[in-house]
């Protein structure tokens, strides 16, 4: 049975941990509001751009632009978005496991699937499992998250696709739903995939100025950059929401543990006092 000193020391340790978890919860709650506003604000533009380009892909010939070309099943690239820090519940593990499942199952029948990771935790999780698939890791993006950062990643992806290094590019990340709900989302970035048939597009038509090729050369790579930026914003908001929920749960668990340890301490103290009284009484009786 632990001594009173050991129990008291453990209570103090749990209280210190609780102070840390409460502080981390408050920090994440403050960051979550800004991150959530940024993610929600980016959705309408990204979704509308995706819809417009899906309509364009239905109307254009496959050879109208390299990003529209539907190729074979050679090599593919999966872009995985995780966090640089832990202590956020299953946020990193869930999306990393989904990426591992996507590569191992290879439902689309690719010859090989490479992995590009944003975030240190995704690399730590997968480097021993899929180390041979990891081609690049981007870290510390959340510290200075901007469209310029996403654009550089998007340009790198577009260049690899245009050089025919990859036949398809996919993006997997945690989409933000609420502070306690994040949904692992898998999207195809390239080639730009037409949805439905031409009749479903309605009577909408597009006029290209100055010409079709120049417009497509500007707007199609931009779509990849926007989707990367949206994924980073969604992942960032999801991270703060998951960490806030995890730290709240940890704080409540610490309170329960402190209560149990305090009860154990009081019982041990009472037992010690009772033992001392019995010894005094026994000693007194022996003198008589």
Identify whether residues 150 and 65 lie together within a single domain. Answer: yes
Residues facing residue 75 across a β-bridge:
112
pLDDT (tens digit, 9 = 90+) per residue, 40-95?
999 999 988 888 887 777 776 666 778 888 888 889 999 999 999 999 989 999 99
Q: Which domain holds residue 279?
A: 4-20+247-287
What pLDDT score was predicted for residue 279?
76
pLDDT reported for residue 198: 47
Helix axis angle for 91-105 and 120-130, nearest 10°, is 40
In this predicted structure, what is the pLDDT of residue 75? 93
Q: Which element (helix H / strand E) includes 7? A: helix 4-59
Listing DSSP states for 24-40 in one string gives HHHHHHHHHHHHHHHHH
Residue 16 belongs to domain with CATH number: 1.10.287.80
Would 282 be classed as within a structural domain? yes
Which residues are CB-neighbours of 132 under 8 A, at least 6 positions away? none
Residue-wise pLDDT for 135-147, tens only, equals: 999 998 887 889 9
Q: What is the pLDDT of residue 165?
A: 93
136 in a structural domain: yes
Same domain, 165 and 214: yes
- Are 171 and 81 a contacting pair, CB within 8 Å? yes
Number of structural domains, the chain?
2
Work out the percent of the chain whose per-residue pLDDT is above 70: 94
The answer to the question of residue 90 being in a domain is yes
Residues 70 and 92 occupy one common structural domain: yes
6, pLDDT greater than 60: yes
222 and 254 share one domain:
no
Q: What digits encode the pLDDT tens for the residues 269-288?
A: 888 888 878 877 777 777 76
Q: Scan for tokens 């990849």, then name that residue.
A: 224
> Are 173 and 213 in a shared domain?
yes
Q: How far lies 159's CA from each of 57, 118, 232, in Å?
A: 20, 18, 20
CATH number at residue 202: 3.40.1380.10
* Residue 218 phi, psi dihedral angles, 5° rounding: -90, -45
Catalytic residue set? 88
Domain assignment present for 25: no
Q: Are residues 12 and 70 in the same domain?
A: no
The answer on pLDDT for 200 being more than 70 is: no
Smallest CA-to-CA distance from 28 within 202, 219, 227, 242 is with 242
Full-model pTM: 0.85
Q: Is residue 80 part of a domain?
A: yes
In a domain, 27, yes or no: no
- pLDDT (0 to 100) of residue 61: 66
Q: For residue range 101-122, what is the model confidence (pLDDT) as tens digits?
A: 999 999 889 999 999 999 999 9
Question: pLDDT per residue over 146-162, tens digit each?
Answer: 999 999 999 999 999 99
pLDDT of residue 199: 52
Distance, in Å, from the CA atom of 128 to the CA atom of 23, rounded to the nearest integer, reads: 33
- 103 lies in the same domain as 136: yes
For residues 71, 75, 76, 82, the Cα torsion angle rounded to the nearest 10 degrees is -170
């Amino acid at each position: 049975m632990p001594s009173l000193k050991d129990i008291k020391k453990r209570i103090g340790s749990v209280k210190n941990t609780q102070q840390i978890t409460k502080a981390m919860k408050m920090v994440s709650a403050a960051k979550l509001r800004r991150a959530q506003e940024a993610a929600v604000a980016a959705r309408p533009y990204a979704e509308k751009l995706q819809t417009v380009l899906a309509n364009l892909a239905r109307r254009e010939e496959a050879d109208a632009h390299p990003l529209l070309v539907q190729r074979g099943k050679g090599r593919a690239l999966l872009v995985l978005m995780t966090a640089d820090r832990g202590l956020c519940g299953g946020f990193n593990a869930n999306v990393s496991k989904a990426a591992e499942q996507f590569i191992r199952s290879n439902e689309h029948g690719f010859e090989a699937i490479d992995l590009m990771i944003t975030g240190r935790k995704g690399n730590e999780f997968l480097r021993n499992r899929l180390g041979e698939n990891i081609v690049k890791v981007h870290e510390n993006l959340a510290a200075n998250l901007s469209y310029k950062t996403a654009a550089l990643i998007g340009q790198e992806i577009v260049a690899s696709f245009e050089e025919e290094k990859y036949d398809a590019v996919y993006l997997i990340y945690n989409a933000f739903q609420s502070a306690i709900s994040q949904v692992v989302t898998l999207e195809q970035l390239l080639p730009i995939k037409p949805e439905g048939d031409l009749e479903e597009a309605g009577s909408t038509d597009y006029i290209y100025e100055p010409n079709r090729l120049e417009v497509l050369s500007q707007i199609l790579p931009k779509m990849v950059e926007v989707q990367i930026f949206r994924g980073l914003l969604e992942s960032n908001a999801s991270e703060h929401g998951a960490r806030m929920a995890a730290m709240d749960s940890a704080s409540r668990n610490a309170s329960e543990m402190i209560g149990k340890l305090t009860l154990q301490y009081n019982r041990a103290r009472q037992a010690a006092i009772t033992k001392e009284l019995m010894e005094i009484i026994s000693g007194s009786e022996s003198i008589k």
